[in-house]
Chain A
């Protein structure tokens, strides 16, 4: 098992090298001149040239790439020009915020989507099936920024039961001692109940916003997969053996239906992580999505490269864990393959 994981990680190195090369080249090819951007509109050409030299942008592409690799090898992701902070520090601060939001949203979506899909599959054509169809259609049709604004409007502005949609924690509280960087877990580890509730209150609206969006693919996939499995031969055998309907449904059907659901889960996870910029914007969530967008508009190379590389590593880890989960669910899946 350990060996398999190690082999897979080694196998991922070429992918990561590819990611490094492509992001480096792409950021350099982006329109916009960071030197001119940071010198400001009133700067003289000499000042711009000075900044360019300071940033090392006057060197050849090869030289710049060599320097970049050298820094990377030392664990230096460079510095953000707009904030002046090391990229690594900022990523380490912001990634847990995005991860926490994404995990929580996925959890919410899964808790609702799987039972909904199962019930819709066991009673096709019933009201629950129609409800499932309605919710999933609504989920994909409503853009996240709209759902987010609507939720904030209703629960914060109108009803006043949600805290102001401004970041991860009400300023009255101070964040928990960082262990994982995820406030929910850290506050639990610190044993602070009130803090946990405050974090949860901030998290719940953006998480619902994202959860509603991924509910649809999950519920649809669960339903379709369950329908397929329920009509298969071994379910007939299980029923012909008189097994209790709960055994047939969960032990026999659901486990077999899980594989496509896990695949979908992995897909929406990576999708959420990289593209929840809109939700992060609406709720002023200090995640990596908004970080990347802000850097992109400022032609700030180092954070963009850092962001893409982080995402690359996350994708590799994600795919690896999905394959491992596959192996756990289905004995026919050889991990070595």
Chain B
């Protein structure tokens, strides 16, 4: 597996925001790789930089964002250094993205069919006479009932789950190699959630597409991902195959996250909140380990620069005092 060239390989990636109230050190020293066809979960609490990372991959970051270094190789192209026209070619064709709040993610005053056609027109060599048929086909492929009729619907005429299906149809219309799903089920009810997740998984399997699944819901990631990357305050703190991560979390933050996640049969008393908050990323004196101030295992050894996880390693932990691997045996 290690011999295979990953689809996307991010190395030593850093990004900051220049705001009026100071420089926000949003991402620092990120290493990660996504292989063809695999589903990787990117987990962390709100504000940990999950979405910022994905926007940067597509080159659609906020105007205040500045890449401070690193590389993100996708095929033969470094996404961080590529020009806008190269990126625009890749967006929607090679790498697609779906978002949370599907209702607001679609243009409210444009028919959903026309929105899919816009993407097809841009990227796929489709004759204009065939556009409509292709758009209807895209709607059918995400199991939207009566796609001919839905083609002419406006987003406000569809339910949230239906909008997310349209969003997926739009994202997958050109058969991308990588789908970034940014909290795709937030705001949907649980049964719809399951349907959307199954749909993404099914389409990924069918076309060999890789998925980067961004979520704050560890349980959802556990259900659907091959591998999980845990982020905290703009750092990747741990990466591991799913089973390994849940059986034996090595980073204290991962362990606390798992303890804070409700599972079937768990009692409220059994859940424990993670103490403290994310550190203010505008601080000049950010500790080298950004979890240090919330961590019960912290010591003076933690002042040393954080060990990084190799981008292509299947698992790794960025901590000087990781939890023992033997936990699996217990």
Interface residues, chain A, with chain B CB atoms under 8 Å away = 232-234, 236-245, 247, 251-252, 255-256, 329-332
**Minimum C-beta distance from B86 to chain A (A):** 10
- A234/B105 contact (C-beta < 8 A), A240-B97, A241-B171, A242-B89 known: yes
**In residues 108-124 of chain B, which contact A (Cβ within 8 Å)?**
108-110, 118-119, 122-123
Determine which of A236, A242, A244, A256 lies in contact with B108 in the assembled complex, contact meaning CB atoms within 8 Å: A256
When chains A and B are docked, how far (Å) is the Cα of A332 from the Cα of B97?
26
Which 10 residue pairs are nearest across A and B when measured between Cβ atoms? A242-B91, A242-B92, A241-B92, A233-B104, A240-B97, A234-B107, A233-B105, A242-B88, A241-B119, A237-B105
Instruction: Tell me whether B108 and A243 are in contact (CB under 8 A).
Output: no
Instruction: Tell me whether A331 and B109 are in contact (CB under 8 A).
Output: yes
Tell whether B93 is near chain A: CB-to-CB under 8 Å: yes
* B104 / chain A contacts, CB cutoff of 8 Å: 232-234
**In residues 83-105 of chain B, which contact A (Cβ within 8 Å)?**
87-93, 96-97, 99, 101, 104-105
Q: Which of A234, A236, A242 gathers the greatest number of chain B CB atoms within 10 Å?
A: A242
Instruction: Tell me whether A236 and B89 are in contact (CB under 8 A).
Output: no
* B106 / chain A contacts, CB cutoff of 8 Å: 234, 237
When chains A and B are docked, how far (Å) is the Cα of A37 from the Cα of B277?
81
* A232 / chain B contacts, CB cutoff of 8 Å: 104
* B90 / chain A contacts, CB cutoff of 8 Å: 242
**Minimum C-beta distance from A258 to chain B (A):** 9
**Minimum C-beta distance from A269 to chain B (A):** 23
Determine which of A233, A241, A332 lies in contact with B170 in the assembled complex, contact meaning CB atoms within 8 Å: A241
Give the bracket for the number of chain B residues in contact with chain A.
Answer: 20 to 34
With both beta carbons as reference points, the residue of chain B lying nearest to A259 in the complex is identified as B109
One digit per residue, 1 when the CB lies within 8 angstroms of any chain A CB and 0 when it does not, for chain B 12-35 equals 000000000000000000000000
With both beta carbons as reference points, the residue of chain A lying nearest to B97 in the complex is identified as A240
Instruction: Tell me whether A241 and B154 are in contact (CB under 8 A).
Output: no
When chains A and B are docked, how far (Å) is the Cα of A247 from the Cα of B123?
13
When chains A and B are docked, how far (Å) is the Cα of A331 from the Cα of B89?
31
When chains A and B are docked, how far (Å) is the Cα of A104 from the Cα of B163?
43
A233-B104, A241-B171 known, 4 other contacts, Cβ within 8 Å = A237-B106, A239-B58, A240-B60, A242-B90
One digit per residue, 1 when the CB lies within 8 angstroms of any chain A CB and 0 when it does not, for chain B 53-84 equals 00100101000000000000000000000000
Determine which of B93, B110, B123 lies in contact with A252 in the assembled complex, contact meaning CB atoms within 8 Å: B110
Q: Which of B55, B60, B90, B171 gathers the greatest number of chain A CB atoms within 10 Å?
A: B60
Instruction: Tell me whether B108 and A332 are in contact (CB under 8 A).
Output: yes
Interface residues, chain B, with chain A CB atoms under 8 Å away = 55, 58, 60, 87-93, 96-97, 99, 101, 104-110, 118-119, 122-123, 154, 156, 167, 170-171
Determine which of A237, A243, A252, A332 lies in contact with B122 in the assembled complex, contact meaning CB atoms within 8 Å: A243
* A236 / chain B contacts, CB cutoff of 8 Å: 55, 60, 99, 105
* A239 / chain B contacts, CB cutoff of 8 Å: 58, 60, 91
When chains A and B are docked, how far (Å) is the Cα of A255 from the Cα of B118?
15
When chains A and B are docked, how far (Å) is the Cα of A252 from the Cα of B118?
10
Determine which of A238, A242, A244, A245 lies in contact with B107 in the assembled complex, contact meaning CB atoms within 8 Å: A238
Can you name 21 A-B pairs with beta carbons within 8 Å? A232-B104, A233-B101, A234-B104, A234-B108, A236-B55, A237-B97, A237-B107, A237-B167, A238-B118, A239-B60, A240-B60, A240-B91, A241-B91, A241-B122, A243-B92, A243-B119, A251-B110, A255-B110, A330-B108, A331-B109, A332-B154
With both beta carbons as reference points, the residue of chain B lying nearest to A237 in the complex is identified as B105
Instruction: Tell me whether A243 and B118 are in contact (CB under 8 A).
Output: yes
When chains A and B are docked, how far (Å) is the Cα of A238 from the Cα of B118?
9
* B105 / chain A contacts, CB cutoff of 8 Å: 233-234, 236-237
When chains A and B are docked, how far (Å) is the Cα of A239 from the Cα of B122?
12
* A242 / chain B contacts, CB cutoff of 8 Å: 87-93, 119, 122-123
* B97 / chain A contacts, CB cutoff of 8 Å: 237, 240
* A243 / chain B contacts, CB cutoff of 8 Å: 88, 92, 118-119, 122
When chains A and B are docked, how far (Å) is the Cα of A244 from the Cα of B101?
23
With both beta carbons as reference points, the residue of chain B lying nearest to A236 in the complex is identified as B60
* A240 / chain B contacts, CB cutoff of 8 Å: 58, 60, 91-92, 96-97, 99
Instruction: Tell me whether B122 and A244 are in contact (CB under 8 A).
Output: yes
When chains A and B are docked, how far (Å) is the Cα of A256 from the Cα of B55?
23
* B101 / chain A contacts, CB cutoff of 8 Å: 233
Instruction: Tell me whether A329 and B109 are in contact (CB under 8 A).
Output: yes
Q: Which of B101, B107, B167 gathers the greatest number of chain A CB atoms within 10 Å?
A: B107
Determine which of B87, B93, B109, B122 lies in contact with A255 in the assembled complex, contact meaning CB atoms within 8 Å: B109
- A237/B99 contact (C-beta < 8 A), A232-B104, A252-B107 known: yes
**Minimum C-beta distance from B57 to chain A (A):** 10
**Minimum C-beta distance from B170 to chain A (A):** 7
* A332 / chain B contacts, CB cutoff of 8 Å: 108-109, 154, 156
